[in-house]
Chain A
Amino acid sequence: MTKLGSSFRPSKAKNLAVLNDKDAPEAIGRRLRDMYDDVVNEPVPDEFMDLLAKLDDKPEDGGDDSR
């Protein structure tokens, strides 16, 4: 599957229509991971660090969502 990418197109394969059925799931999987990893690799916005710094040390009832 890697051989297809390198010989066929220098960058990431763009158009799924040109991939055959066998390679399409692989391409979609890669794209899904890329999409997720793009966000994971973003620098964490300052507001998150501010928020964590502000969390007090007193645990309270956090509602029902943790059940």
Chain B
Amino acid sequence: MTAASAQGKDADSAEFRSELTKLIPHLRAFARSLCNDASEADDLAQEALVKAWRARDRFEPGTNLKAWVFMILRNHFYSERRKAWRKNETSGEHIDEMSPMAAGQDSMIELADIKHALSELPDEQREALILVGAGGFSYEEAADVCGCAVGTIKSRVNRARIALARLMERQTTPKSNREEALTAAEDIIAEAHALASTRD
């Protein structure tokens, strides 16, 4: 390698590193939406950064780096989860605990609501909605990240929006119905009393 081309390569590496650095906040946010658990999400984001760095020769300059690194993160997440599942199947262990939510702030209550609703969506709908609805990705970029057709992403986002609205509605109704339920219970008790007194 000549000195000039080595220098060019160093400059490319420095440029790539600085572009990756800019993506960190977004990678963390996307990872958090996939994992829920904050420290697990940060591990995932770091692993994706390392993978992207090592594979940087395969990145085509001029294409969308953010979509490329998101794709790496996403693929890594699903392949690790598949591995974990396989392990659980053989060992008979089961990991299905929700990470406890920090409470205390008003905004945390709404956040917990939407996170819970999101967790009930199928994976492919959740990721499509996060990318397009929260991450500001175009349908085309999201299709690149998820490795599917643009039309598929559009319909996933649509279905996710509808499902999420229904889930959120369901979560909030029991609270408003509580009073109604109490009244109903009181009616039943009163009726029981009435019946008991007629029997005497």
Contacts and interface: CB of A to CB of B under 8 A. Distances in A.
Co-complex (A, B):
yes
Q: Which size class do B's interface residues fall under?
A: 35 or more
A61 B20 contact: no
Interface residues of A, number: 39
Contact of B169 (A24, A51, A60): A24
Contacts of B58: 62, 66
Report whether over half of chain B's contact residues are helix, strand or loop; otherwise say mixed: helix
Contacts of B54: 59-63
A32 B176 contact: no
A1 interface: no
B114 A35 contact: yes
Contact of A28 (B45, B68, B165): B165
Interface string B63-89: 000001001100110010000000000
Given A32-B130, A37-B134, A62-B72, 9 more contacts: A14-B109, A15-B176, A29-B133, A31-B114, A51-B46, A61-B55, A65-B55, A65-B72, A66-B52
